[in-house]
Structure 1
């Protein structure tokens, strides 16, 4: 394994850290790649680079003109994403990708354990016990692990479960297969505790499609039957899905969407740059 592949594995570890720390770590990786003349070559071969960096340049101009300093900071994150994408594409190999998947799966265990700790602390602070599995509606009282909010963490778990499925198919070791199943189920349990309703929806499509693509017809049919049974149970008893029957957030979402349309109508061409929304809907 060469240095670039090791850097990709290190960057994978940063994904499970707060984004402020992760962005600094990614920046350091890009600096070392630049010093070794790897980054410039990667950018030259990056598909659509002219459009990507032109857009980022426009964002810099817009945020500065509107004194949107928070948005200016976010635009630098766009730069990091674009540059790292070029470096990743230049350095990735199949073997490294599979190691990255395994690393994500392992790190997800620690993230999930921390999520369980958060759930216990939230439960105690609100007069509940852990085993009640009471999931609150307020975003501030839902588990986030090391991520910004519950929905982002739930989205990460979705990807982790997909990686578990991929490695389950690619790995011939029976113990490893069992391990992937256990980790996927553990993460799915923590996903349930996040209270993210939308993150549950991808599973309705992901598992059957994946099983169909790998031509496991019996498991494909079984997954369809099981999902229909689960949908039937949820229809009869919506409380099985956390916050399913609680529509109190729907009214606030309508206000959010209306505000978004107002923002777009005020500055339809270039807007004010990233993070503008908070100026109109704190």
Structure 2
């Protein structure tokens, strides 16, 4: 008789390992890498990542996509892309394990950890932005990175744009927790942390972020069923942002025209590369591999999630990914039938909205820390749905979360 993972490793131990990895994701990325490697090897040696203990294997389309990405990277001598393609393997295996063992109630604990961590990071980012202790190496990586992004806070995330996306995630986690609890004091705490994270976006100087927050606020409230609030919030936030820009309260908006010109140059180079290799791509970071053939604008990626995906994997590789994306969409649609899942559905939809909206101007999801936080939250969707679908007492129009 084959034993379950819990028979080899109890849930308290598994949840502790998940928490350790989750917390490490709030530290510099090299600490996340080391923690992930240690936990992955530990679970693998116990056999908890193998087919004997995992009911649902990694979808075939994901394996085909990884193989495809590695092969085309090798063919076009895109060695950075080949390395990333190989790194996809343990990530796919681990998060397939995570998706099946995570318990919905524990996701709430992870979200609490995220908010506590985000506030600590906010304090550090304030020190960094104001340079209160010049002797500190705020970049955590090298002085060069800090000079490149002079005047912009990156906290523990290597790049101000990555920190900005993390702040967007943190803000909506706080908003979700505030909507979930019935306790006034907790509402105030969650609101305070959310506002701190929203304010910290100004530290990053990432002009896209406030636009992403405005658009995602509409999505969040609309999914909750508060359509009038969704429209009102969207209009109010838009007007408020425009006034703040006009008064000069938001950094780096004075050169917004230059920023768009810069993006247009990058997109033009990306489109030229796409026209020459529409079907196949050259693997991850194709832009980095081909930019010198089409122009003089150096950067790592095409700064658009659609363009960069097509440029890197071609129409064929992108098509291979579609079944997994469609499967996620179907699961999101299934969650709509249960009122008890509405708030969690709003959080998950807001995360997807952040990736899509921010992805129109940057590819910040293609980074270890932003991707991990996204996967930790979104991949809990299966067990959230399964818990309600198999428990009739949780179903019905009058049901809601067991709130804290």
- The TM tier, using the shorter chain, reads 0.7 to 0.9
2:164 is aligned to 154
2:90 is aligned to 80
2:121 is aligned to 111
TM-superposition CA deviations, 1:190-244 (whole Å, max 9, x none): 1122111211113223334434544668866763563254156257x26233322
For 1:168-247, what aligned pairs fall within 5 Å after superposition?
168-214=178-224, 223-224=233-234, 226-227=236-237, 229-231=239-241, 233-234=243-244, 237=246, 239-246=248-255, 247=257
* 1:268 maps onto 2:278 in alignment: yes
1:277 is aligned to 287
* 1:45 maps onto 2:36 in alignment: no
Q: CA deviation at 1:73?
A: 2.0
1:97 is aligned to 107
Q: CA deviation at 1:50?
A: 0.7
Contact 1:197 1:244 in 2 (8 A): yes
CA distance in 2, matches of 1:218, 1:275: 42
CA distance in 1, matches of 2:252, 2:214: 18
Equivalent of 1:18 in 28, 36, 49:
28
Equivalent of 1:70 in 80, 84, 87:
80
User: Are the structure 2 counterparts of residues 262 and 95 from structure 1 closer, same or farther at C-alpha, using a change threshold of 3 Å?
Assistant: same
* 1:145 maps onto 2:155 in alignment: yes
* 1:252 maps onto 2:259 in alignment: no
Contact 1:26 1:80 in 2 (8 A): no
| Counterpart secondary structure, 1:2 | helix
Q: CA deviation at 1:251?
A: 2.2
How many residues align? The count is 268
* Greater displacement, 144-153 / 74-83: 74-83
| Counterpart secondary structure, 1:244 | coil
* Greater displacement, 83-92 / 167-176: 167-176
2:370 is aligned to none
Superposition RMSD on alpha carbons, in Å? 2.9
Contact 2:221 2:230 in 1 (8 A): yes
Q: Report the TM-score when normalising by structure 2.
A: 0.59
User: Are the structure 2 counterparts of residues 65 and 208 from structure 1 closer, same or farther at C-alpha, using a change threshold of 3 Å?
Assistant: closer
CA distance in 2, matches of 1:124, 1:148: 18
Q: CA deviation at 1:163?
A: 0.8
Q: Report the TM-score when normalising by structure 1.
A: 0.82
CA distance in 1, matches of 2:238, 2:39: 46
TM-superposition CA deviations, 1:90-139 (whole Å, max 9, x none): 111112100000001111112222222221239989xxxxxxxxxxxx74
User: Are the structure 2 counterparts of residues 146 and 232 from structure 1 closer, same or farther at C-alpha, using a change threshold of 3 Å?
Assistant: closer
| Counterpart secondary structure, 2:36 | helix
Unaligned runs of 5+ in 2: 1-10, 136-147, 292-297, 299-404
Greater fraction of residues in helix = 1
Unaligned runs of 5+ in 1: 126-137
Contact 1:195 1:243 in 2 (8 A): yes
CA distance in 2, matches of 1:60, 1:32: 26
